Chain A
Amino acid sequence: MGLFGYMLRSRTAGVVSSNFYVIPGPTAVLAWLVLGETLTPTAVAGFFLSSIGVWLAQREAPSP
């Protein structure tokens, strides 16, 4: 949360919060690597899609 607070200092709340959309993807990848959980191609596609979405959400973010 320290990093979350650091980001909130320079960017808007909505833009910073958009980072949460990426979290399920890396979590699924880490769970596959470490815990041996199933990682489907659909999940990988979703990871890339959410990454693009977050990049788009942050790209033209106005600085307060």
Chain B
Amino acid sequence: MPPRLVQRVLVPAGFIFLWSSAYIVVRMGLPDMSPIASLALRFAVATVVLVILARAMGPPLTVLGNRWPHFAVAGALMNGIYPRHRLRGASVSRGGHHGTPRLPQPHADGAPGLGPARRAHAASQWLGLGLGVAGVVLVVGRAPMPGQSVAAALLAVSGIVAFAMGTIYFRRHCGSGALLAGNAVQMARRASSAPCSRPPWRRST
């Protein structure tokens, strides 16, 4: 199979499918399991699967050496805050809302001077990102967004900023090396913090 086909088509398609289907799984499991428990279970299962895959397909886990903290930091930044908003959204919103809290993120990641190579987007890329935003707005429509409160908005913005920082951190410090083993570290880090992901506006209820 041509590497370009894998890198440009199959991997992005798999990524989009996994993220899209996550909402369906959470919604289907809501009657039987809380979103927090669902999140913790998903991360725990992913950790086990990644460890098995890393052992079977890649170099031993020790190949990470003293670089594993970088993967843990990237995991904490990329999913330390955002799952709280996402859980809230999956609990109360329609499917099209899934992923919308990340709307400005590609713009943040690609802003001039912020990218890992400090390379700005070309004009056509900015046009594409603009069309992406317009398309998402059409999908979401005029239905109210979940958690329309100042706390929810701040959490969403914080999650986007943290994820953008995590993306750039990953690109700079984790881009090379054992990806499977590194992602097992990331997933373990998320699984350990998932019970703390209860949205603050629900703590009093």
Footprint of B on A, CB under 8 Å?
1-10, 12-32, 34-35, 37-38, 40, 42-43, 45-62, 64
Say whether B7 contacts A7, CB under 8 Å.
Answer: yes
Q: With A3-B11, A14-B109, A30-B95 in contact, do A53 and B131 touch (Cβ < 8 Å)?
A: yes
Nearest Cβ in chain A — how far from B88, in angstroms? Answer: 16
- Chain B residues with Cβ below 8 Å from A53 are 127-135
**Which residues from 1 to 31 on chain B have a C-beta closer than 8 Å to any C-beta of chain A?**
7-8, 11-12, 14-21, 23-24, 27-28
- Chain B residues with Cβ below 8 Å from A59 are 124-125, 128
- Chain B residues with Cβ below 8 Å from A57 are 106, 121, 124-125, 128-129, 132
Say whether A30 contacts B138, CB under 8 Å.
Answer: no
Q: What CA separation (Å) do A46 and B170 show in the bound complex? A: 31
Q: What are some 5 contacts across the A-B interface (CB < 8 A)?
A: A9-B179, A30-B95, A46-B137, A46-B138, A50-B136
Say whether B24 contacts A20, CB under 8 Å.
Answer: no
Q: With A14-B106, A24-B96, A24-B99 in contact, do A64 and B128 touch (Cβ < 8 Å)?
A: no
**CB closest chain-A residue, reference B167:** A13
**CB closest chain-A residue, reference B187:** A1
- Chain B residues with Cβ below 8 Å from A54 are 128, 132
Secondary structure at chain A's binding surface: helix, strand, loop or mixed? helix
Q: With A21-B132, A27-B24, A58-B8 in contact, do A8 and B16 touch (Cβ < 8 Å)?
A: no
**CB closest chain-A residue, reference B94:** A37
**CB closest chain-B residue, reference A64:** B117
User: B153 an interface residue at 8 Å Cβ cutoff?
Assistant: no
Q: What CA separation (Å) do A51 and B133 show in the bound complex? A: 10
- Chain A residues with Cβ below 8 Å from B107 are 14
- Chain B residues with Cβ below 8 Å from A1 are 75, 78-79, 183, 186-187
